[in-house]
Structure 1
Amino acid sequence: MADEMVERAQQFINSYNVPGIPKVEVNGRTSWTVMYGLTRALQYELGITTLSDSFGPTTLSQLQSRYGAQIDDRTRHENIYRIIQAGLYCKGYDGGGIDGTYNGRTADSVARLKADMGVGGTYPGSGLQPKVFKALLTMDPYVRVGNGTEQVRQIQQWLNGRYVQRREFFICPADGNFSRDVQKALVFALQYEIGMSDDVANGRFGPGTQDGIRAQAMLGLGSADSAKQFVHLFQAAMRFNGWDVAFDGFYSGSLLSTVVDFQRFAQLLPTTGTADFRTWASLLVSTGDPSRPGTAADCITEITPARAQSLRAAGYTTVGRYLTNANVTNPKNKKIQPGELAAIVAGGLSVFPIYQTNGGDPEYFNARQGATDALAALEAARGHGFRAGTTIYFSVDYDAVDEEITSRVIPHFRGLVGRMAAYGSEYRVGVYAPRNICSRLAKAGLTVSSFVSDMSTGYSGNLGFPLPKDWAFDQIATITVGSGTGFIEIDKDVASGRDTGQTQFTPRGPDTALDVPFDMSRRGALTTDLVRYIVDNGYDDLHRLRSAEECATKVLDMDALITGLARSFRMRKSLMQAVIFWEYQADYSDELADGLVDNYYSWKEAMAAWEENPIGPPPPQPPTFRDDSSTGVAQIFGRTGIRARNHCIRADVISGPIQDTEDWRARRAVWDQLRNDDDYNVSTVPLIHIWSAAINGITADRLSYTDADIVTVLAQYNGADEYGRRARDLYRIFETYNAALRG
């Protein structure tokens, strides 16, 4: 929503006709672009000639040099005042107008801003100190936002108030959310308590910080803060990582018990409940202590019998290996090799599969690619013989920021998960990624476990994010194991026990009998043949919603899905293409039928609401309605969809819950999907064919149907022999092209 005073702030920025202060859009919405404009305006007023978006050391020193300890009503600089007032409005405070004065409203808001930051005690009064000015011109919030908690916000304010006067410590957000800047502020605080000078402290968890923790911050039951604030900082680290502990500077029995829970969760063994170095490290940096032992590993190198023996001797029990090679020019040969799985198992190890073709490129991630990956991973996993229930870890091997997770990664995994379900996949979807990606995908219900790329300690997706609750493997260090023929470089992983890998495999060789993607250079020829059939047989009547050309286009536009379904269910594409092509033509009366079903379900919902709260007369039943209709691309009834899926679930073709066709809520949910989700509708077609074959006692391999079998299965789709023969004719047209591509 546009804010009038933010608009005025933007207009103020645009009043500068100065090189280096670009114009901003006047839209009434706060953004980094606006804050950068105000920063550049401040630099200009300070006499800095090279303007930039960064409120860096030069800006800070010039501000201190020009105006001293604070800006207040004695400063007497109208444009500096306007910058402050504009910044306050952009932060959600009353700036007192943008009139170039440090009036009472402006002063009150500055005081409130400092209180919200937690620096009001350190910087009393209503003056604006240089570090507060720097914080004002950021997008950092100082009130609780989103999922932020007061428990975390209390610590953010405490950090700001206690350490803001140290040279390199800058005011961190006080919004109740753990973040990269908050994590860095916590490490700065720890360094100060260790005794580092301003010239040494840097906010990084380096050797000096680690040595200081070992020497001074080993805590246990009864430890308490005095001059040093190590217990407070340890409690802060626990809270930031999502553990509910007191923030009182005392190591109580309750704190010890919660630390035991954390150590057990993070596999910090033995679980002592003390704040030892490994516990501190796991709270402060994504790798934790990289020297701690791991029982899992992942690698790009083939595991020979000698290497398997080396890994087992070094204490490893599970290894991650790649299903395929990367889809790039001259890829490394990192995929599972022939005979390798048997060598791994013979060496006393289990295996978990990783899928990565090009997971390091942001442009790679989209719904279409996710759908493509589903089939490639499914076929590779089946080819290697991974058993049902195996989790495949799909790689997101780059530092996706939050917006990219929303716009790229989540749609990619939605496409992936949707296609895996459509193909009746027996595998579960996991992710290899930084912490934030893992957690967001799990929250969205798109993954079942996480393989966390914690070695990338500088990734924004690891800084300021706790270890995901569903973590299975935690990648912490690259090391070498063994010697001679047993030498191998691995990434050492800590295992949570959620995924113990696989030790039994049933490999499937390549199946050249399966269909392949359509050759789109033959698109015109196929369309011509289909149109000729429709016209020659008198099926181009005026009752059809769509032309034969439109229907051919629909079938070919969905070729990737149809090909995947055919390969997954070992079925001829032509069986699906024939009915989809015919049914997509649809009769004009089908739209009317769908409307009547809509009326029925609207009435059922109204009745259900009335039954819960029976005030007044019940809603009248519509005079004309239907409780089901054939709908969507392939014109499928809700009841038919449910029955076909129920059969395939019972036959272990797909997984899912059995549903009651007469439960109107269940039927409506399926009918709505059939009507509105083309992929779901088309994915139901092979399930109907499988069910139809069972009804008619057809037990032959689906790739080996006789002509009579084909007619019977297709006739069952509509319940008429004539339909079966007509659909068989269409089947033959499609099969002419499909068979030629199979070779």
Structure 2
Amino acid sequence: MADELVRRAQRFINTQYNNGATLGISKLSEDGKTGWTTMYALTRALQYEMGITSLSDSFGPTTLSTLQSRYPVLNDSTVPSAIFCRILQSALYCKGYDGGEIDGIYNSRVKSAVTSLKQNMGVSGLFPGSSLEPKVVKGLFNMDAYVTVNSGSSTIRSIQQWLNGRYVNRRDFFIIPCDGHHSRDVAKSMLLAIQFELGMADGTATGVFGPGTQAGLRSHTVSVGSTGTWAQLFTAGMILNKRSVPFGDFTAAVKTGVEQFQSFSKLPVTGNGDFQTWASLLVSYGDQSRKGTACDGVTKITPARAQALKDAGYLYIGRYLFNPSSTSLPEKQIQPGELDTIKQYGLRCYPIYQTFGRAADNFTYAQGTSEAFQAIEWAKYHGFKPGTIIYFAVDYDAMDGEITDYILPHFRGVMRTIGENSSYGVGVYGPRNVCQRVGDAGYAAASFVSDMSSGFSGNLGYPLPTNWAFDQIATITIGSGAGAIEIDNNIASGRDTGQNDFNPPASTTGLDTDLNKTAYRAPMLTDVKNYLTSIGVPETGGDGWGDDDWVTLGGISTTKAYDLVLSADWLFTSLARQLRLRKALIQAPVLWELRKLNPPDFAADAAVKAGLDDDCSTGWGQIFAWVTIEARNYCTQQGIINGAPLTGSDKPAVWRSLNEDPLYNIRSVAYLTIYNAFQINKPRPDLTTSLADTQALLARYNGEGPNAEKYGRELIGLYNVLENYNNLSRSQ
């Protein structure tokens, strides 16, 4: 919602500074909405008025030191100019406080706002009155909140205020938000507070969990009866890790909470605030000297290495199902005979699937579906049995918004595919926030937490996920000679114990592969167009529609239909490999139905959407919801796919999925093909299905009778064109 006074602040910047040109920025949008763009502009304006020549969005050391030297206190007597005051007033309004009329007068309304601001920050004890001190100004010129927001905790807010009020006069401690939420800044402030209490001087206290901090904490165990600052810091750490204990003295209630935390984190259950517990509260990796019973690595487990791992107390080994690189890390993927070695030495293996996963745009619903199909196939290839949890990797510091927009849709695709097409489980590897949110969404049964990356914003300020199975805390080398191996040392919760017995590798002989688009895209399209033209289906138009009318009404050309099918080649391949049939059998009806879309199809869709009808053929494969329900139920009954039985009440949801989700539609085409074989008393389609049976299956896709028979005759020719190039691709 627009705020008129924020709009006035934006207008002030635009008017005073030549539409931002003086400040080196673009003109502000006068939308009345506070955001970083406006706060950056105000920061630059402050710098400009102080004579700083190199303007920056950052309220950094130069800005702060200039303010400290020139204006150690800003009030009605010291504010240097009306413009300077108007900048402060504008910042107050953008922060949600009454800054007066943005008139350049440090009046009673401004004083009252500043007093409230400092009280909310928790610094009014050190900075009493209505003046603005430099660190308060720094806290004013950002987007931090000093009141609880988004259901923030009042207890956490009181801790944030306490930290500000106690340490704000230390050189490297800056005012942190008081919004009731744990965060990166709050986590760093806790480490600084620990270091200050250990007696570290300014400059030495850096907020890094280094050897000096660790050594100091080893001599500051707290327990029942402990009071004072150390007890406050410890209970603050517990609360910030979402443990329900009172802030302050170390009471019996705190001890109970500590025991629960230690048990959950797999620490020795002492009930005391000992070093390992301190470490686990303050940094994601905790005490990196802890002995883990799980590990993961990119090196083949040989007999010598297996013995070294066993001698070091390891039970569970994470290994990669697949390595997308043919040159990097040659032993990253599970190697032939390796799982037999793991079994022979009494160890257990949990599989990890990672292709890239190092940026937001690596994650989409379609990519999650694709990776899940590949993971299923690789897991079967290596012999992992039903019930195995496969960990899908998010190997970067995903911001919270990226989790919402990219990671969760990706894992929805993973979960839907793994659940429908296998008996495996889904796990997630990544920072704490990623793991927790994916788990909360119901897309992962267990988490493998990348806690070694302690600087990730998704680890700082977030507790260990509730469904954690493995906690990655340090890279170490164990063994010697032939047994030497570098591993990531992991703590195991017991939620997942991996596998110690494996099926024989599943054969992939004769299965379809992705089309070699570089070699075959152009000639395949030419052959498709030539064939369709030969049976009366030109590049555009047809079925009595002139080209102009046909284009106006939304018809799809042969080339466009072909390109759409090729865009989903990965899915056709995955389904064909999973179901052990020829992918041309799925491609042919989809390509045909896309090319033959016509105005009656669009009208039928519109009628269902308007509630005038309850079903029609729809989507890429032009399938009815009722027959999709029958096909999916049949495949579920036969154990081909997993899922709850669908009923007539599911028809609206199924139709929407068919209409809106091409991936769901294509999958349903594949299942319908198998169901159709049952319908016409033919064997289930496989890699050796005859052309006669294939034509009969294609005909059944369009029902029964003369029109269906004609449909089969037309599509068998298209099938042959597609199968020719699929065969060439899989033969390479």
Residue-by-residue CA offset, 1:500-547 (whole Å, 9 max, x unaligned): 11122224355241122233122422332342243089x942379846
- 1:437 corresponds to: 434
- The question of whether the paired residues in 1 share the 8 Å contact of 2:7 and 2:30 is answered with yes
Q: Does structure 1 residue 200 correspond to structure 2 residue 204?
A: yes
- 1:610 corresponds to: none
CA distance in 1, matches of 2:180, 2:602: 52
TM-score under structure 2 length normalisation:
0.90
Q: Which residues of 2 match residues 285-684 of structure 1 at below 5 A?
A: 285-327=283-325, 330-361=328-359, 363-418=361-416, 420=418, 424-508=421-505, 511-518=508-515, 519-535=520-536, 540-542=542-544, 546=555, 549=558, 550-584=560-594, 585-586=596-597, 588-598=599-609, 602=611, 626-660=613-647, 662=648, 664=649, 666-684=650-668
Q: Does structure 1 residue 108 correspond to structure 2 residue 117?
A: no
Shift of 1:72: 3.8
Q: Which residues of 2 match residues 225-236 of structure 1 at below 5 A?
A: 225=228, 229-236=229-236
CA gap of 1:132–1:324, structure 2 versus 1, over 3 A, is same
Shift of 1:356: 2.2
- The question of whether the paired residues in 2 share the 8 Å contact of 1:166 and 1:198 is answered with yes
- The question of whether the paired residues in 2 share the 8 Å contact of 1:534 and 1:540 is answered with no
Shift of 1:695: 4.1
CA distance in 2, matches of 1:20, 1:598: 52
Q: Secondary structure at the match of 1:702?
A: coil
User: Is the deviation greater in 191-200 or in 344-353?
Assistant: 191-200
Q: Which residues of 2 match residues 262-277 of structure 1 at below 5 A?
A: 262-268=261-267, 270-277=268-275
- 2:29 corresponds to: 26
- The question of whether the paired residues in 1 share the 8 Å contact of 2:75 and 2:130 is answered with no
Out of 692, 706, 716, which is 1:728 matched to?
716
Q: Which residues of structure 2 form unaligned runs of 5+?
A: none
Q: Secondary structure at the match of 1:535?
A: coil
Q: Which residues of 2 match residues 706-721 of structure 1 at below 5 A?
A: 706-721=690-705
CA distance in 2, matches of 1:179, 1:626: 51
Q: Secondary structure at the match of 1:160?
A: helix
Residue-by-residue CA offset, 1:619-656 (whole Å, 9 max, x unaligned): xxxxxx54433222222222211222122222222222
Shift of 1:311: 0.7
CA distance in 2, matches of 1:72, 1:456: 47
CA distance in 2, matches of 1:282, 1:703: 54
Shift of 1:596: 4.4
- 1:615 corresponds to: none
Aligned positions, number: 709
Shift of 1:135: 0.4
User: Is the deviation greater in 395-404 or in 105-114?
Assistant: 395-404
Q: Secondary structure at the match of 1:703?
A: coil
CA distance in 2, matches of 1:742, 1:482: 43
User: Is the deviation greater in 313-322 or in 253-262?
Assistant: 253-262
- The question of whether the paired residues in 2 share the 8 Å contact of 1:594 and 1:631 is answered with yes
Q: Secondary structure at the match of 1:682?
A: helix
Shift of 1:365: 3.9
CA gap of 1:552–1:358, structure 2 versus 1, over 3 A, is closer
Paired amino acid for 1:569: L
Residue-by-residue CA offset, 1:346-395 (whole Å, 9 max, x unaligned): 11111111122333355544455444433433322221122223222222
- 1:606 corresponds to: none
CA distance in 2, matches of 1:421, 1:683: 14
CA distance in 1, matches of 2:368, 2:623: 26
CA gap of 1:347–1:273, structure 2 versus 1, over 3 A, is same
- The question of whether the paired residues in 2 share the 8 Å contact of 1:288 and 1:476 is answered with yes
RMSD: 2.7
- The question of whether the paired residues in 2 share the 8 Å contact of 1:399 and 1:459 is answered with yes
CA distance in 2, matches of 1:24, 1:146: 31
Q: Which residues of 2 match residues 681-700 of structure 1 at below 5 A?
A: 681-699=665-683
Paired amino acid for 1:707: L
Residue-by-residue CA offset, 1:542-587 (whole Å, 9 max, x unaligned): 3798466154444333322212211111111121122223333245
- The question of whether the paired residues in 2 share the 8 Å contact of 1:328 and 1:358 is answered with no
CA distance in 2, matches of 1:369, 1:682: 15
CA gap of 1:447–1:72, structure 2 versus 1, over 3 A, is farther
CA gap of 1:41–1:715, structure 2 versus 1, over 3 A, is same
- 1:253 corresponds to: 252
- 1:741 corresponds to: 729
Residue-by-residue CA offset, 1:161-185 (whole Å, 9 max, x unaligned): 2222223221100111110100111
- The question of whether the paired residues in 1 share the 8 Å contact of 2:620 and 2:666 is answered with yes
- 1:142 corresponds to: 146
User: Is the deviation greater in 188-197 or in 8-17?
Assistant: 8-17
CA distance in 2, matches of 1:58, 1:632: 60
Q: Secondary structure at the match of 2:476?
A: strand
CA gap of 1:400–1:123, structure 2 versus 1, over 3 A, is same
CA distance in 2, matches of 1:240, 1:118: 18
CA distance in 1, matches of 2:362, 2:511: 27
- The question of whether the paired residues in 2 share the 8 Å contact of 1:70 and 1:127 is answered with yes
CA distance in 2, matches of 1:647, 1:495: 41
Q: Does structure 1 residue 132 correspond to structure 2 residue 136?
A: yes
Shift of 1:58: 3.4
Q: Secondary structure at the match of 2:427?
A: strand
- The question of whether the paired residues in 2 share the 8 Å contact of 1:574 and 1:731 is answered with yes
Paired amino acid for 2:622: Q
- 1:605 corresponds to: none
CA distance in 2, matches of 1:484, 1:667: 64
CA distance in 1, matches of 2:726, 2:205: 67
- The question of whether the paired residues in 1 share the 8 Å contact of 2:528 and 2:721 is answered with no
Paired amino acid for 2:691: D
Out of 22, 34, 56, which is 2:60 matched to?
56
Q: Which residues of structure 1 form unaligned runs of 5+?
A: 603-624
- The question of whether the paired residues in 1 share the 8 Å contact of 2:528 and 2:718 is answered with no
- 1:9 corresponds to: 9
- The question of whether the paired residues in 1 share the 8 Å contact of 2:419 and 2:643 is answered with no
CA distance in 2, matches of 1:75, 1:630: 72
Shift of 1:495: 0.9
Shift of 1:697: 4.4
